[in-house]
């Protein structure tokens, strides 16, 4: 089904003045406060310099929220809202104050089925429209509605990383290993949408390959790109994609096929990278953020992510190694069920999207009472 943003009705915001809950964590009590409620399958969130924020809904809306009031943003493309596809991530570049650019990723209908696409437009001065929106990248088409990836990250040099998935081609499909295909890659683009990297024998813009379905991406405090991706039955991974590297899917994995058989050739093959951390059984990690330590110094440099099949926000401590990678803390509350995205706000608080609640929440030190 294709959905145009202009036909989706507005929603009613609920009161935001009362904290919803509090949880005990390794860094003390944290308050969870609802910032927006009544959303329909929120997918991505990012901030403008003035404190307003932009939220996407998978079904086809972009919303700008300022001072507790939300308005729809027009001028965005028609999206393919089928299966896991639809309107996906949003990214506000660091130079927004002068460029007013906003990037979005989405599933688009193309020959052969659906594909991961990205585009950019200028947010109008009144915030109601993406002016001059243009699609700057789209891949080949595949049937079905699985594994679009689609996280967007601005790199330290200003280029934009777009993640993709293998489009559900399965452990028998080698598309993620083909350097000339978009499926199962990290793509690096210049701000004008042209390829930011070229490698002999690779699709222009293709940065790394062998990924199953990257659902979270962020820079660490040194500017290194990190990603989290879904495995099959087990084998979810945290990786640090680098130029020209192969991350293994579907040749190696720490998970198994859904029928219980091993994936590919096991867990290690020469020339293929090992994950920084892996999960078995699967948690379906989504969203990724490396924390600055602004409000919680104990968590500086730690890696936060959501889970789409469980009820927690995860925190990995890179300073504490374990058999599977890093020590992990799980922060669980009624609001943390099926967390799609997680970001650090300009004030150092941690914001996350709950698909289950249809809400954006703020996590910060303090009591909810």
Starting from the edge strand earliest in sequence, which strands make up the sheet with 339-344, in order? 21-25, 28-36, 359-365, 350-354, 339-344
Residue pointed to by tokens 């104990």: 298
What values do phi and psi take at 235, rounded to 5? 85, 20
Record the tokens describing residue 251, joined without a space. 């040749």
The SS3 assignment for 218 reads: strand
Tokens of 119: 């585009």
Distance CA 85, CA 1 (A): 10
Distance CA(9)–CA(5), nearest Å, equals 9
Which strands sit side by side in the sheet containing 61-66, from one edge to the other? 42-47, 53-57, 61-66, 69-72
Sign, CA torsion 142/144/147/153: positive
Q: For residues 213, 219, 221 and 224, what is the CA-based torsion angle, rounded to 10 degrees?
A: 80
Catalytic-residue membership of 277: no
Structure tokens at 90: 């949003």
Q: Of the residues 147, 211, 230, 277, which is catalytic? A: 147
Kindly report the length of the chain: 369
Catalytic residues: 147
């Amino acid at each position: 089904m294709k959905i145009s943003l202009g036909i989706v009705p507005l929603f009613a915001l609920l009161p935001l003045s009362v904290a919803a809950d509090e949880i005990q964590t390794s860094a003390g009590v944290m308050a969870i406060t609802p910032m927006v409620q009544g959303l329909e399958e929120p997918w991505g969130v990012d901030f403008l310099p003035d404190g307003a924020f932009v939220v996407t809904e998978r079904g086809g809306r972009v919303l700008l929220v300022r001072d507790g009031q939300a308005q729809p943003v027009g001028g965005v493309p028609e999206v393919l809202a089928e299966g896991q596809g639809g309107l996906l991530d949003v990214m506000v570049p660091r130079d927004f104050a002068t460029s007013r650019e906003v990037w979005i990723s989405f599933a688009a209908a193309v020959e052969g089925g659906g594909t991961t696409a990205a585009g950019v437009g200028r947010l109008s001065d009144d915030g109601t429209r993406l002016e001059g929106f243009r699609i700057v990248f789209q891949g080949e088409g595949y049937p079905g509605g699985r594994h679009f990836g689609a996280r967007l990250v601005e790199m330290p040099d200003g280029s934009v990383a777009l993640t993709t998935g293998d489009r559900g081609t399965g452990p028998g499909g080698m598309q993620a290993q083909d350097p000339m295909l978009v499926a199962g890659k990290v793509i690096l683009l210049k701000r004008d949408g042209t390829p930011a990297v070229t490698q002999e024998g690779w699709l222009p813009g293709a940065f790394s390959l062998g990924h199953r379905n990257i659902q979270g991406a962020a820079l660490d405090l040194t500017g290194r790109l990190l990603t989290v991706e879904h495995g099959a039955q087990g084998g979810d991974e945290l990786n640090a994609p680098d130029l020209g590297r192969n991350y293994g899917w579907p040749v190696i994995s720490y998970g198994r096929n859904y029928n219980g058989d091993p994936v590919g050739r096991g867990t290690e093959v020469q020339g293929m990278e090992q994950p920084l951390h892996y999960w078995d059984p699967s948690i379906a990690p989504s969203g990724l953020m490396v924390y600055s330590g602004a409000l919680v110094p104990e968590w500086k440099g730690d890696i936060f992510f959501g889970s789409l099949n469980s009820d927690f926000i995860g925190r990995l401590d890179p300073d504490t190694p374990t058999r599977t990678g890093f020590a992990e803390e799980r922060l669980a509350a009624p609001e943390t069920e099926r967390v799609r995205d997680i970001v650090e706000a300009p004030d150092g608080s941690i914001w996350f999207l709950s698909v289950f609640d249809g809400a954006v929440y703020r996590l910060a030190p303090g009591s909810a009472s």
